[in-house]
Amino acid sequence: MTLDPIVITLIEAVVKTIVVIVALLTAFAYLTLVERYVIAKIQSRIGPNRVGAIGGIALLQPIADAIKMIFKEDFWPSQADKIIYTIAPGIAVGTALLAWAVMPLHPSTEIFGYRVDFFIADVNIGVLYLLAIGSLGVYGIVLGGWGSNNKYSMLGALRSTAQMISYEVSLGLALVGVLMISGSLSLVTIVEKQSFIWNVVWQPLGFIIYFIAAVAEVNRLPFDLPEAETELVAGYQTEYSSLKFALFYMAEYINMITVSAIAATMFLGGYQGPFGILPGVHWLVLKIMFFIFVMMWMRGTLPRFRYDQLMRFGWQVLLPLALANIFITALVMLVVGA
Amino acid sequence: MSLSVPDLNFRVIAPALIVALTALIVLLAELVTPAPRKRWLGVLGLIGLLIAAGATVGLWGAPASAFGGMVVADNFGLFLTLVILLGAALSILLALDFVRAHRVDQGEYYVLVLFAVVGMILMATATDLIVIFLALELLSLPLYILAAFKRADARSLEAGLKYFLLGAFSSAFFLYGIAFIFGGTGTTNLMKIADALAKNPRNDLLLVGAGLLLVGFAFKVALVPFHWWTPDVYDGAPTAVTAFMSVGVKAAAFGAFFRAFLVALPAFAFDWRIVLAALAVLTMTLGNVAALLQSNVKRMLAYSSIAHAGYILIALVAMGASGLSSALFYLLAYTLTNLGAFGAVIALSDGERERLEIRDWGGAARQYPFIAAMFAIFMLSLAGFPPLAGFTGKFLIFSAAVETGWAWLAVIGVLNSLVSAYFYLRPIVQMYMSEPVPGWDRIRVAPLVALALVLALIGVIALGLYPTPAIVMATGGFLR
Amino acid sequence: MESIPFYFLAALAVLAALGVVVMRDPVYSALALAVVLTALAGLYVLLSAPFLAAAQVMIYAGAILILFVFVIMLLSPGREGDAPRGALKWQRPLAVIFGGALVAQLALVLLMTILPTGRGLYTPEYLAQIGSTQAVGAALFTDYLLPFEITSLLLLVAMVGVIVLAKKKS
């Protein structure tokens, strides 16, 4: 029996998509556990050690959390906009997952005489796609805050909109340096070109700007003003409970993984090992884990920015630096003649 | 991949480039200029306009195009450029004291005026619909802001908002028209549209596109029935801004209007002249009749500007070389006269308090004989009395219409001029024959405003008595 | 077969555009506009212009519209009431008549016209060869250099204007 090549491509894409989504959801579940341990260690506590504990680590804790979350009461604020209130968490998770469509995970290999590419799609504007999808992610938060019809939710949503739009600019511009060096917008090409030397060597400033802006984009400390619990209860999530809350939570963690993966891909060679050693998905996972650990570490140690500081830093420090980085890159490339 | 860069002949856009550069310099200089010296920024702007005028004269007589046929420096465009620069310079002269009296003495005022001038020049010299559209936006955006420049005044803000909303609306029509024209011909270049039409004169998409384009232009030059914004915006905007936009926008938009229709559409199977003729009749008649009913000088001048757009439209209907040159001459005469009229309104205001009601003008002639006399001359010129610029302009336009077989249109134009004489004469009668209204003695006429008035007056009289050099200059025509 | 995505996206865009106008709640209108813009981005992809598609989503749906929503939320104008009474009442039937006439006219012309079918410069093969991003960049910096520069002035003016109008009096 021979299959139409279109059908094969379709099946391949569906399989890849399912694998990626399952992997991400599992990663999300266990990241919550990891985060609790990391924070516990920083704060000299023990952390969860009861549910299905093996060697003092509660391996079944995420499952217990999930069950608990699902069976909580699904609360509807009486004045909420029902439609928007419902679709907001969906948009948040949807946009978080969509970004993974262009992420190269592993070098292409032959399996049973059939060439498999370890990315769902090699869009030749991959980086722009990532930025576009990322810019849509704001909708989830904005609509969630607006739909709840609650002052705290609304304030949180407004803050996060302003914050994400402000830092998105620097985030995008920080990547431009890499694009100039690589001469391509395709993530696959960008990774391939880093097989020996990672981009971070040429783009240290871009790398730092990107990472700071990315932390702001995913609303993590020290940029977690949208949900600053001491001021806004829980920001845009205030009214959410049960599954819808879980979806927001999930979106947040997946976004963390996504920005880490982008940082790894754009600056640290993605699945490429240092100096071309054993390229493979393990490198990508390691790098993502490193970035996520740093974010958790920052959460455990850094205080929150004040809102005006956040804005000033974004527009008056990060943005000019990002522009300077592009300018310097262009100048060097012109002089060197690359 | 190799790029073939088109002819980057910056010389062709030198006037616009110089004005843009001046605007940037003024913008930077504003940072270091202390509050009491802001008027020097205006002087800086004036110098820039002068240099640009010099550059324009330098380009005279050697038509050239640049940037792949997107702009040209032909005598038609250069003449309009000179008219725009003249209008801008006179209105800056009017504004130097005006902004201080109205406590809006900010350098941004001049910056915005200069940017609007860049847009106007580009619009008058553009030969590509995309550039025309962008230039239209570049001239409109500063004017929206300038109309609302006096933020303490709710009426100024209202004028700005109204202008902005309706302007954005008309821009959408304009852009939609460009899209249709592109769909019908595959190009936005005026000459190439003409080529496409020569091959295939019946083109329905182009018909729709040209119609929408017409709506966009009609909004900008305030043709009836797209004129509703004009009285409110002219009335609400600060008078110095009104003076500037009443002349600059007309010159620039009519420039692009003429070029778009006369370069791109002559081969069109559909005779669009009859539509324009109808619009011209409507515009002249409604503008003049509505002006009869106004008691406010600025609103009266607003309706008068609508009527004048109607006269100029006759020149477009007449087509041909005589129509073109008559329109150019008319725009020059209108610029000088209208700026003079608004200048007189500014001159006769007591600080922030302007005398806008015509009945308050009683006895002005006794206190300010020179200003009153100049205002009277500007009014007579607008009405078309010989031997003033307005008369020559009307004479040229109407004779161009008669020459090309549009005698009935000329007759309606003449009848309209007769009607208009009534409302133009009314403030003169008020100034010279009515009992004085108290409070005239508080008014101090600013010397710079007086200077601007005298310059405009010289122009109006000179163009009336000896129009030949200006007419000769206006017969340059397009670079096709 | 290959025109199915086109008709789907086109219908989506038109329906959502109607939604923008018809919806009474401004937030819903804004969201419908987001759908329009995203559907247009989809059409760009079908036209082998992925760069434009991504730019469209990023700039319009991701930035400009978010600002719309932001402003709507800040002002919270609530639902749109009924049309104004009194002075403007007579405008309604006129608007229906003239608007309807314009739509009918445009539809008629589009139905009558045989659209030109010639292929332009930017065919899918040409774009595949030089890349859609490169094509946009090349066009911007050669043929459309002047419009591009005018646009930069336009943005500067907009910025100056916003500051002039919004700045507090010192």
User: With b meaning 16 or more CB within 10 Å and e meaning fewer, what string describes C22-40?
Assistant: ebeebbbbbbbbbbbbbbb
Range of the domain at C63: 1-79
Domain termination residue (choose one: C79, C111, C145): C79
Q: Do C71 and C2 share a domain, yes or no?
A: yes
Q: Which pLDDT belongs to residue C87?
A: 62
Chain B residues with CB under 8 Å of C144 CB are 130
pLDDT in tens, B287-324: 999 999 998 999 999 999 999 999 999 999 988 888 89
What's the gap in Å between the CA of B452 and the closest CA on chain C?
27
- Write the Ramachandran bin of A235: left for phi over 0, alpha for psi from -120 to 50, otherwise beta: left
Q: Which pLDDT belongs to residue B1?
A: 54
Nearest to B134 among C112, C113, C154 (CB): C154
- Taking residues C57-78, report their average pLDDT: 82
Q: Which pLDDT belongs to residue B356?
A: 83
Chain C residues with CB under 8 Å of A138 CB are 62, 66
Q: Do C1 and C74 share a domain, yes or no?
A: yes
- Whether C103 is in a domain gets the answer no
The sign of the CA dihedral C154, C156, C161, C166 is positive
Contact C134 B108 (CB under 8 A): no
The chain-wide mean pLDDT, for chain B, equals 90
Chain C residues with CB under 8 Å of A123 CB are 50
What's the gap in Å between the CA of B210 and the closest CA on chain C?
13
C77 close to A (CB below 8 A)? no
Q: Kindly report the pTM of this predicted structure.
A: 0.90
- Whether C134 is in a domain gets the answer yes
Contact C161 B70 (CB under 8 A): no
What's the gap in Å between the CA of C143 and the closest CA on chain B?
6
d(CA B257, CA B235) in angstroms, rounded, equals: 25
d(CA A135, CA C66) in angstroms, rounded, equals: 9
pLDDT in tens, A235-290: 777 777 777 888 888 888 888 899 998 898 888 887 877 776 777 788 888 888 89
Q: Which pLDDT belongs to residue C51?
A: 87
Closest-CA residue of A relative to C71 is A158
| Domain extent listing, chain B | 272-480
What's the gap in Å between the CA of A125 and the closest CA on chain C?
6
Chain B residues with CB under 8 Å of C107 CB are none
Contact criterion met (CB below 8 Å) for B127 and B63 = no
Report residue B439's pLDDT band, with 50, 70 and 90 as the boundaries.
confident
pLDDT in tens, B346-368: 988 877 778 888 888 888 888 88
Q: Of A80-94, A114-128, B17-31, C5-19, which gets the smallest average pLDDT?
A: A114-128
What's the gap in Å between the CA of B98 and the closest CA on chain C?
18
Tell how far CA B136 is from the center of its chain: 13
Q: Which pLDDT belongs to residue C138?
A: 86
Q: Which pLDDT belongs to residue C84?
A: 56
- Whether C72 is in a domain gets the answer yes
Q: Which pLDDT belongs to residue C85?
A: 59
Chains B, C: CB pairs < 8 Å: 88
What's the gap in Å between the CA of A269 and the closest CA on chain C?
23
Contact C27 A146 (CB under 8 A): yes
Contact B205 C113 (CB under 8 A): yes
Q: Which residues of B touch C (CB under 8 A)?
A: 1, 3-6, 8, 13, 20, 27, 67-68, 70-71, 106, 108, 111-112, 115, 118, 122, 128, 130-131, 134-135, 137-138, 141-142, 144-145, 148-149, 151, 160, 183-184, 186, 204-205, 207-208
Contact B6 C151 (CB under 8 A): no
Contact criterion met (CB below 8 Å) for B291 and B303 = yes
How many domains are contained in chain C? 2
d(CA B413, CA B277) in angstroms, rounded, equals: 11
Contact criterion met (CB below 8 Å) for C146 and B131 = yes
Domain termination residue (choose one: C16, C47, C79): C79
Q: Which pLDDT belongs to residue C83?
A: 54
Chain C residues with CB under 8 Å of B3 CB are 138, 141-142
- Whether C150 is in a domain gets the answer yes
The chain-wide mean pLDDT, for chain C, equals 83
Q: How long a stretch of residues is chain C?
A: 170
- Whether C144 is in a domain gets the answer yes
- Whether C88 is in a domain gets the answer no
Chain C residues with CB under 8 Å of B144 CB are 161
Domain termination residue (choose one: C17, C48, C79): C79
Closest-CA residue of C relative to B131 is C147
Return the residue in C103, C154, C155, C162 with the most chain B beta carbons within 10 A, the one to mutate for interface testing.
C154
HEC states along chain A?
CCCCHHHHHHHHHHHHHHHHHHHHHHHHHHHHHHHHHHHHHHCCCCCCCCCCEECCEECCHHHHHHHHHHHCCCCCCCCCCHHHHHHHHHHHHHHHHHHHHHCCCEEEEEECCEEEEECCCCCCCHHHHHHHHHHHHHHHHHHHHHHCCCHHHHHHHHHHHHHHHHHHHHHHHHHHHHHHHHCCCCHHHHHHCCCCCCHHHCCHHHHHHHHHHHHHHCCCCCCCHHHCHHHHCCHHHCCCCHHHHHHHHHHHHHHHHHHHHHHHHHHCCCCCCHHHCCCCHHHHHHHHHHHHHHHHHHHHHCCCCCHHHHHHHHHHHHHHHHHHHHHHHHHHHHHHCC
Contact C109 B4 (CB under 8 A): no
C74 close to B (CB below 8 A)? no
C107 close to B (CB below 8 A)? no
What's the gap in Å between the CA of A143 and the closest CA on chain C?
9
Q: For B126, phi and psi rounded to 5 degrees?
A: -80, 145
Q: Which residues are paired to A58 by β-bridges?
A: A53
pLDDT in tens, B131-164: 999 999 999 999 999 999 988 888 999 999 999 9
Q: Which pLDDT belongs to residue A230?
A: 65
> Which of the listed ranges A199-203, A290-294, B269-273, C58-62 does the model predict with the highest average pLDDT?
A290-294
Chain B residues with CB under 8 Å of C118 CB are 186
Nearest one of B450, B437, B457, B440 to B380, comparing CA atoms? B457
- Whether C36 is in a domain gets the answer yes
Helices B389-403 & B369-383, crossing angle to 10 degrees?
0
What's the gap in Å between the CA of C144 and the closest CA on chain A?
22
Q: Which pLDDT belongs to residue C71?
A: 84
d(CA A155, CA A233) in angstroms, rounded, equals: 11
Contact criterion met (CB below 8 Å) for A125 and A166 = no
- Whether C96 is in a domain gets the answer no
pLDDT in tens, B461-470: 999 999 888 8
pLDDT in tens, B161-175: 999 999 999 999 999
pLDDT in tens, B203-246: 788 888 899 999 999 999 999 888 889 999 999 999 999 999 99
Task: Enter the ipTM.
Answer: 0.90
Nearest to B122 among C118, C130, C150 (CB): C150
pLDDT at C59 over 80: yes
Q: Which pLDDT belongs to residue B358?
A: 83
Chain C residues with CB under 8 Å of A157 CB are 73
Query: Which regions of chain A are under pLDDT 50?
Result: none
Q: Where residue C65 sits, what CATH number does that domain have?
A: 1.20.120.1200
Tell how far CA B417 is from the center of its chain: 20
Q: Which residues are paired to B72 by β-bridges?
A: B65
